[in-house]
Homo-oligomer: A and B are copies of this chain.
Amino acid sequence: MRKINPHDFKVARRGTSREINRQIALNLIRAHQPISRADLARLMNVRRGVASLLVSELLSESLIFEGAIGESVGRGRRPTFLYIDSRQRCVVGVDIRASRTYILVTDLLGRQLGAVSSFQTNRDVDVLIQELAHRIKQILSDYMEVGACEGVGVSVPGMVDPAKGRVVHAPTLGWRDVNLRDPLAVALGIPVQIENSGKACALAQVWATRSDVTGSGNSVFVSVSDGVGVGVVVNGEVLRGRHNTAGEFGHVPLSIDGPKCSCGATGCWEAYVSNLATLSRYFGRDLSEPRPRDSETATFSLEDLIARARAGDAKAVAVINSTARYLGLGLASIVNALDPARIYIGGEITTAWSLIEPIVRSALRERTLTEFGGATEIHVVPAEDHPRLRGAVALVAAPAFAAPMVA
């Protein structure tokens, strides 16, 4: 039961019905391709005539194309299959992280077109934009004309205002109120969209083409790395909040008297489960201390710690187990607050999922109110899926498929 906002509504015009059904048809083709007009009509529960009309409109806009004539199963005329048209079109996803920046080229459905490339992130925005523009142009020229690129999506670890195209605050990069979108768009001559990395990850799951991920109208993506980023999806839409800061579960406390967090507060979930927090526990360091420069601990990563745990290092096992417990306790807060249908979780710690899963699950059960809540589906998203990059791609590729705004 949604209320119509009497100060901001959209009346239905002559073309509104058509627009709605057009988008439904497009989404069904996306989800079921290859598909015939007749099957489309059956799925939509409309007459074939209507489906034909919608299809011809989509064809004329080159959003879809007619492929080979299919084999007829029973008797009767053989169907002509329809496909989303991604020929000579591509999308670039960029994932800016504190240490490195990653680039991926995909088609309009987010299917990978080449290998992921990366380079060291230069924290000077202007330099980074120039380097990005240069590398993207080069990569695009390998695949097709640069003009065939529909746009570039960028995932940024920090607070982003996508409407204005600005990075409001990105602590790990030292950026504050930086215009990232427009200079990059000018340098490339292609539209650019930017988004917070947690929300980008959530987007990636919403718009994933694999059928087993779709249908999750309410879900949450938890990304554990240097910090903890969370993207919340409600009714198939990423929750943005009044000031673009929704989803900061990383700074919801486990214990307000807990360890100091990079945000200035104490006891944030992030201060217990981030990679830095886990490593600090292993080295018996305080999280607030500057990271020592000595050779061993400076380069020692969470993967190294997990390797030691697998090799039998008792202290490593204990540290990882406690991270797992804190992880579950924090997930419980998410379940209590939002009761999502599914939680996606990504980050280095998930490479140890087989070790930590029972601990995470039992901690989750410990603090959730109901049996159902404790049993909330948890899906691990491996790093190889590149959720941030795929979310960045969705920023550009998805709007063509989005539901029209109505009422």
Q: Is A122 interfacial (CB 8 A cutoff)?
A: no
Q: Which of B7, B251, B267, B407 contacts A214 (CB 8 A)?
A: B7
Q: Is A206 interfacial (CB 8 A cutoff)?
A: yes
Chain B residues contacting A30 (CB-CB under 8 Å) are 6
**Pairwise interchain contact A7-B245, C-beta atoms closer than 8 A:** no
| B interface footprint on A341-372 (CB within 8 Å = 1, 0 otherwise) | 10000000000000000000000001101101
Chain B residues contacting A367 (CB-CB under 8 Å) are 251, 253, 256, 265
Chain B residue with Cβ nearest A28? B6
**Pairwise interchain contact B23-A17, C-beta atoms closer than 8 A:** no
**Pairwise interchain contact B246-A337, C-beta atoms closer than 8 A:** yes
**Pairwise interchain contact A251-B369, C-beta atoms closer than 8 A:** yes
Chain B residues contacting A366 (CB-CB under 8 Å) are 265
Chain B residues contacting A376 (CB-CB under 8 Å) are 242
**Pairwise interchain contact B369-A245, C-beta atoms closer than 8 A:** yes
Chain B residues contacting A399 (CB-CB under 8 Å) are 1
Q: Which of B17, B168, B232 contacts A12 (CB 8 A)?
A: B17
Chain B residue with Cβ nearest A341? B242
**Pairwise interchain contact A267-B255, C-beta atoms closer than 8 A:** yes
**Pairwise interchain contact A2-B407, C-beta atoms closer than 8 A:** no
- Residue from A12, A237, A254, A339 with most neighbouring chain B CB atoms (10 Å): A12
**Pairwise interchain contact B239-A234, C-beta atoms closer than 8 A:** yes
Q: Which of B1, B24, B244 contacts A237 (CB 8 A)?
A: B1
Q: A169-B370, A241-B218 are in contact. Are A253 and B255 (CB under 8 A)?
A: yes
Q: A5-B217, A11-B44 are in contact. Are A373 and B27 (CB under 8 A)?
A: no
Chain B residue with Cβ nearest A245? B339
- Residue from A31, A247, A373 with most neighbouring chain B CB atoms (10 Å): A373
Chain B residues contacting A8 (CB-CB under 8 Å) are 215
Chain B residues contacting A338 (CB-CB under 8 Å) are 239, 241, 246, 337
Chain B residues contacting A265 (CB-CB under 8 Å) are 366-367
Chain A interface residues (CB < 8 Å from chain B): 1-9, 11-14, 16-18, 20-21, 23-24, 27-28, 30-32, 44-46, 159, 168-169, 206-207, 214-215, 217-218, 232, 234-249, 251-258, 263, 265, 267, 329, 333, 336-341, 366-367, 369-370, 372-373, 376, 398-399, 401-404, 406-407
Q: Can you list the 10 inter-chain pairs with the closest CB atoms, starting with the nearest?
A: A241-B339, A12-B17, A6-B31, A255-B255, A246-B339, A3-B236, A248-B336, A243-B372, A12-B20, A2-B237
List, sorted by A's number, 11 A–B pairs whose CB atoms are closer than 8 Å.
Answer: A6-B28, A11-B44, A16-B20, A24-B407, A168-B370, A242-B339, A243-B370, A243-B372, A245-B369, A247-B339, A252-B337
